[in-house]
Structure 1
Amino acid sequence: MTKLILSTGNIVAGGPSIIRKPGAFRSNLELTNSLRSNFLAAQEDCAAESHVDGVANGNGSANGAGDLDSGIRGRAPAALWTGRDETGALYVPRIDWHHHHGLQEERAQYDITAKLFFLPDAPVSERRQYAREALDHVRRELRVPEVDLLIVSFPGMSFEGDCEWEADRKNAAQGNSEEELATWPAIEELHRQGFAKRLGLAEFGSEKLARFLARARVRPVVNQINLKNCCNVPPPLAQLAKEQGIDLLVHSDCTDILPKGTLRELLGQGLGGAGILADPETGAGGLQGDLTPLWVVKYTVVVRDRGVIENKGYFAGAELTDTK
């Protein structure tokens, strides 16, 4: 079994972006495009540094990437631009934490939000580990002790319908309430330990939110909903949020943010792939096994007094299991 950690780096190009920027990508496109761009940049940097064209048929393993194969079609060998940590986790691309400078200004000048997506094929029993791992990567990336808001997105949830009343009604039967409540203590623990000042949920309609609030010890202060197909917040949800002091925020994230097929395509040998995974037909070119996306965390750093995004990016965790 091999653990993979994928990262985009800071995707805010050309300086901070105004929050109210129109036409923002839905997160699945933003995530996949940003990952692919970061992989390509890492490959190009390594090729330039090591003159990889002259050794394109070598296997190089200077960074401990193991049995990753050589470059294909002039692509830099994966062993040159990926790396393993002390636990054996494979970072795609590798990260030199010593050269991360974190935020440009004092921590107090920022609002930092992390949104954690638990993915549908990942075991519920491991969510405590995933949550801590994801948040640790964000804090390490930004060089901060905590985030201001941690929002949790559970699989199988949406907020869609022909009208706001239908969306709220459908939402009541979505997801798995027992699994969500069983996961929440792990999130509460991160709050108690000071790693997340406030907690939030995503895609909870009025019935699900009411049931959740009745059993949660540390209550969420934010509920994020996607009104893509509904122009209004359902009145029952608006009323409940007002009574319970919960902020309703609108988002445009995709709930199915990193499907298994998409991840395999990103890491595979095809056009636009990173060349990490072996060709499924020949078994040549890289790592083999069954690939399972586990979690994704999105982080956004906003400069409080200027209302701009200074830093934004993603980490994703996956597992490659040997099928032999």
Structure 2
Amino acid sequence: MESQNTNVTENAKAMLKNAKTLKLHTGNLVIRSRLKKKCPSSPSEELQDCIRATLIDWLSTTQLPSEGGVSDTVDCSIPEATEAIKPEEREELKVSVKLFLCETDQSSIPEAVEMACQTLAVSQLDSVIIAPRGLPEGEVQTLAHLQPAWEVLEALVGSKKIAAIGTSDLDKDLLEQLYKWSQVKPSSNQVNLASCCVMPPDLTAFAKDFDIQLLTHSDPKELMSSSAFQEAVQESTKELAVADWRLEWVLRYSIIVKSRGIIKAKGYLVNGRKASP
């Protein structure tokens, strides 16, 4: 039995070694006790623990495809951990998503939305909040930084893949600029109370006037760096070379029971890509 398990792990490592894209789903964290630390100190630590736990499970259970070949894309997820939504319960549930972009390529936005829809077995996400890629030290975020991603989100609203879209960490002036410029108006704006203990009065007044929901969050400016992603993969796979891997995006989802306001499911989808030689 031990020899069989060793072969499974080696087969899985071979798949990862030859892959160019890694897609990972942590499964439902509400019902799965998979984290090494029961109470992670931050969202970043939670995500890193999730990646390690998922990869360890996947490495110990995955066989090479029956046709024998290897794919450019490896799906590191545990099928029984997936929280697919049944059609008869869809109306009772709200699917909320926050998408953290780690690269400047906007094509990753529809890719992430589609992966979330497929994973959760829904045709539309109820809300998506975008967290753009962090800017270099000293550079200030402007409307020009937000517009490319927002245009992609607007197209996804038009195609009914998303019902509502929101922003993160915009002050009153930038939120107002986005509101006036956009075709699809932001329905929400997240505010990090770690850097702002009380909601700014001007932001509160503007949001009230234009029916924008103000939410709070505790996410860092960079949820996970590529080096932290590489570290999590390295710790799970031991000898696998990870220096060429970079993190493209992270999507965190919550499935909420509307009538009761409780979280039925929560998890992460992660997309990494190996840099071209």
TM-score by length of 2: 0.81
Q: 1:229 to 1:65 in 2, by over 3 A?
A: farther
Counterpart residue number, 1:10: 28
Secondary structure, counterpart of 1:317 in structure 2: strand
- Unmatched runs of 5 consecutive residues or more in structure 2: 1-18, 34-38
Choose which of 39, 43, 52 in structure 2 pairs with 1:36: 52
Give yes or no for contact 1:293–1:319 (8 Å, CA) kept in 2.
yes
Using the alignment, how far apart are the partners of 1:187 and 1:300 within structure 2?
19
Of 102-111 and 181-190, more deviation after overlay is shown by 102-111
> What are the Cα deviations for residues 92-144 of structure 1, in whole angstroms up to 9, with x where unaligned?
x25659x956126610111110111111xx2x3x31x2111111111111111
Higher helix share: 2
Report how far residue 41 of structure 1 moved: 2.1
Counterpart residue number, 1:200: 166
Name which one, 1 or 2, has greater alpha-carbon Rg.
1
Counterpart residue number, 1:274: 237
Give yes or no for contact 1:289–1:322 (8 Å, CA) kept in 2.
no
Q: 1:96 to 1:37 in 2, by over 3 A?
A: closer
Q: 1:312 to 1:63 in 2, by over 3 A?
A: farther
Counterpart residue number, 1:114: 97
> What are the Cα deviations for residues 181-231 of structure 1, in whole angstroms up to 9, with x where unaligned?
122111001111111111100111111111211211101110011101332
Work out whether 1:142 is the aligned partner of 2:120: yes
Using the alignment, how far apart are the partners of 1:134 and 1:262 within structure 2?
20
Work out whether 1:103 is the aligned partner of 2:85: yes
Choose which of 259, 263, 276 in structure 2 pairs with 1:309: 263
Secondary structure, counterpart of 1:299 in structure 2: strand
Using the alignment, how far apart are the partners of 1:183 and 1:305 within structure 2?
32
Work out whether 1:90 is the aligned partner of 2:83: no
Work out whether 1:223 is the aligned partner of 2:189: yes
- Residues 16-31 of structure 1: matches in 2 within 5 Å? 25-31=41-47
- Percent identity, aligned pairs only, is 25
Q: 1:241 to 1:31 in 2, by over 3 A?
A: same
Using the alignment, how far apart are the partners of 2:67 and 2:26 within structure 1?
20
Q: 1:64 to 1:118 in 2, by over 3 A?
A: farther
Q: 1:207 to 1:101 in 2, by over 3 A?
A: closer
Choose which of 250, 255, 258 in structure 1 pairs with 2:221: 255
Work out whether 1:238 is the aligned partner of 2:204: yes
TM-score by length of 1: 0.70
> What are the Cα deviations for residues 62-101 of structure 1, in whole angstroms up to 9, with x where unaligned?
57674xxxxxxxxxxxxxxxxx4xxx3222x25659x956
- Unmatched runs of 5 consecutive residues or more in structure 1: 16-22, 51-59, 67-83, 158-170, 279-287
Of 254-263 and 218-227, more deviation after overlay is shown by 254-263
Q: 1:313 to 1:148 in 2, by over 3 A?
A: same
Give yes or no for contact 1:289–1:321 (8 Å, CA) kept in 2.
no
Give yes or no for contact 1:9–1:314 (8 Å, CA) kept in 2.
yes
Secondary structure, counterpart of 2:232 in structure 1: helix
Counterpart residue number, 1:188: 154
Count of matched residue pairs: 251
Q: 1:37 to 1:24 in 2, by over 3 A?
A: closer
Counterpart residue number, 2:4: none
Letter of the structure 1 residue corresponding to residue 92 of structure 2: Q
Shift >6 Å, 4+ stretches: none
Using the alignment, how far apart are the partners of 2:68 and 2:90 within structure 1?
35
Secondary structure, counterpart of 1:102 in structure 2: coil
Using the alignment, how far apart are the partners of 1:30 and 1:151 within structure 2?
19
Give yes or no for contact 1:114–1:297 (8 Å, CA) kept in 2.
yes
Give yes or no for contact 2:54–2:77 (8 Å, CA) kept in 1.
no
Give yes or no for contact 2:130–2:168 (8 Å, CA) kept in 1.
yes
Letter of the structure 1 residue corresponding to residue 272 of structure 2: A
Using the alignment, how far apart are the partners of 2:195 and 2:69 within structure 1?
44
Report how far residue 61 of structure 1 moved: 6.8
Q: 1:63 to 1:11 in 2, by over 3 A?
A: farther
